[in-house]
Chains A and B, each alone.
Chain A
Amino acid sequence: MQQNIIPSHAGTLESSDLFVRILPKKEGGVSIELESSVCEIYADAIKKTVLECANAFGADGMSIIVQDKGALDYVIKARVQTALLRAFGMNELDWSVL
């Protein structure tokens, strides 16, 4: 799918939150960069959550950079979804996608 990706971000660096940035990249696919205060234990779980969100949007050709400050799963989902909406220039959420 050809997508026009706007560099975007969502969230903050406060504890229990996360800062998500999305950047377009020329190669296809989705790459995830993660930095987390609970990395040793949760890196895989967080990456999985982020990837699931990206797949639900049919995302392609983007880097998702996540700085996690110990956020809970539903916060991670909410922030990544918001960043994706902003990256696609969408205002309305298509709930069926999620």
Chain B
Amino acid sequence: MIDQACPLSIILANKEERARRQKELLVRNSGCFLISLSINTPSAIKLSLASLVIYEIACQAIDSILTQNGFECLAVQEQKALSGAEKLFTCRGDARAFKILTCKLEVKHPLGRLMDIDVFDPTGVLLSRTDFGFEKRRCLLCENEAFVCAREQKHSYATLNASIKKLVWQYANEHYIALACELAMQTEVQLTPKPGLVDSNNSGAHSDMNIHTFYASIQAIKPFISSFLAAEPLDFATLRTIGIACEKAMLKATHGINTHKGMIFCLALFCGAIQQLQKRGEKLTCKHMQEQIKLLAKNLVKKDLIDQNQHSAGARYFAHSGHAGIRQYAQEGFMIVFAGSVPFFQKQSQYHEQSHALKLTMLWLMANLIDTTLYARGGDAALLYVQQKAKDLLTCKYKNEKELNAKLYEFDADLIAKNLSAGGSADLLALTWLASKLLEDETKN
């Protein structure tokens, strides 16, 4: 849903529907006032990473204004759709006093200019900032009144959105990255069908987890992103210590099921590299990321698998074949992602919808990755089988996503019957999405 244009008819219908719900809530909750939060989003793209970050920060700010000033919030209604993120708060207290506090927030908060906080008093009157001595909103880019610039379409959507992204990136950097990580994991698990893997249709070749286990796991991991980004001293040992704590939180949330162990490993290195590049003021490009991760994971295979006796699937496969699985990919700076799956995904995205492009990228990863989770379940034969089958599916021509899905459902049934699951490919698929969202954004600016 992220970064997709919303048709005008849906935007307009959604506004009417919101107005209807506002009225309904006011009638149903006599004496209460209503807060209607939405985000300023020039252009038809209403749901973007930047707008979601602003939305989350606005929600937190409104919550703290409510609690700190003794307002009682009776109910909230939230909606995240193609038409944007929005929330309605039904509250008790002095609506006018609350409006003044939100006007101050809109003026003072670095991202306040991008928040639209409408307040309706109990009689349904929309309170206006000018009634309280606040001046009309200024344009994001120049000193004119916002209304005038918007009506004249004085600035291009590209310029406006670039400046919004820059603001959010600057003032809410960690939040932005953490949200991108969360959405990357969500996007991966929700992609359906995924052969042998947990998706919204089934649990694949897993009897101990389902999509909700993944959702719980994602929520447990999210708070650790800022720790990875702040790792000090920034080296592999520090990242691993945080990673182990993160893993514990994951296992607690999933009642002992390993949903994202490999993913946490990838995220730790990814965030570590981001921290390093940002400190140096260097651009977040695929090339730079690859170099930084290479440095962070230097000698990892030797340290982990040769000098120490590990008992993971990766270690067993290394003893058997000499390929060190995910550690080797990390040591190469995730070249397979930054110089492989990311360009592949970006190219596919030019021709296909995001979900279609992601499914092809998943097949690309399954075909190219030495996935030790497959080896763990079925030895060399399993690994080769999945690689070959993915290669075959990738060379087929599909008229549309539906045809591709039909093949993927067959492959899914096949892998479930064989009890095989390409967990490594799933992790790197999430990493691919994350890299193409975060890094692409940077290069565009």
A66 to B370, CA, bound (A): 64
- Interface membership of B16, Cβ < 8 A: yes
Chain B interface size band reads: 10 to 19
B147 close to A70 (CB less than 8 A): yes
> With A72-B153, A78-B8 in contact, is A11–B16 under 8 Å at CB?
yes
Checking B12, B150, B151 against A79 with a beta-carbon cut-off of 8 angstroms, the contacting residue is B12
B147 close to A12 (CB less than 8 A): no
Residues on B with C-beta less than 8 A from A98 are none
B118 close to A14 (CB less than 8 A): yes
B15 close to A17 (CB less than 8 A): yes
A76 to B149, CA, bound (A): 17
Instruction: Count A/B pairs, Cβ under 8 Å.
Output: 43
A38 close to B15 (CB less than 8 A): no
- Interface membership of A56, Cβ < 8 A: no
Residues on B with C-beta less than 8 A from A95 are none
Specify which of A12, A42, A75 lies most central, judged by the most chain B CB atoms within 10 Å of its CB.
A12
A16 to B39, CA, bound (A): 12
In A66-86, which residues have CB < 8 Å from any B CB? 70-72, 74-75, 78-79, 82
B151 close to A12 (CB less than 8 A): no
Smallest beta-carbon distance A44→chain B, Å: 13
A75 close to B12 (CB less than 8 A): yes
A10-28 contact mask (Cβ, 8 Å, vs B): 1 or 0: 1111111100000000000
Residues on B with C-beta less than 8 A from A15 are 116, 147
A38 close to B148 (CB less than 8 A): yes
A71 to B15, CA, bound (A): 13
Main secondary structure of the interface of A (DSSP, over half): loop
B117-147 contact mask (Cβ, 8 Å, vs A): 1 or 0: 0100000001000000000000000000001
Number of A residues near B (Cβ < 8 Å) is 20
Smallest beta-carbon distance A45→chain B, Å: 9
Checking A13, A16, A72 against B126 with a beta-carbon cut-off of 8 angstroms, the contacting residue is A13
CB nearest neighbor in A for B126: A13
In B10-41, which residues have CB < 8 Å from any A CB? 12, 15-16, 18-19, 38
A36-47 contact mask (Cβ, 8 Å, vs B): 1 or 0: 011001100000
> With A72-B153, A74-B8 in contact, is A11–B15 under 8 Å at CB?
yes
B18 close to A12 (CB less than 8 A): yes
Checking B9, B19, B148, B150 against A16 with a beta-carbon cut-off of 8 angstroms, the contacting residue is B150
A57 to B147, CA, bound (A): 30
Residues of B within 8 A of A (CB): 8-9, 12, 15-16, 18-19, 38, 116, 118, 126, 147-148, 150-151, 153
Which 8 A-B pairs give the minimum distances between C-beta atoms? A70-B147, A12-B19, A12-B15, A38-B151, A37-B147, A70-B151, A38-B147, A17-B15
List 6 extra interface pairs beyond A42-B151, A72-B153, CB under 8 A: A15-B116, A17-B12, A37-B147, A38-B147, A70-B151, A71-B151
Q: Can you list 11 A-B contacts with CB-CB less than 8 angstroms, sorted by A residue number? A: A14-B116, A14-B118, A15-B116, A17-B15, A38-B148, A42-B151, A70-B147, A74-B8, A78-B8, A78-B9, A82-B12
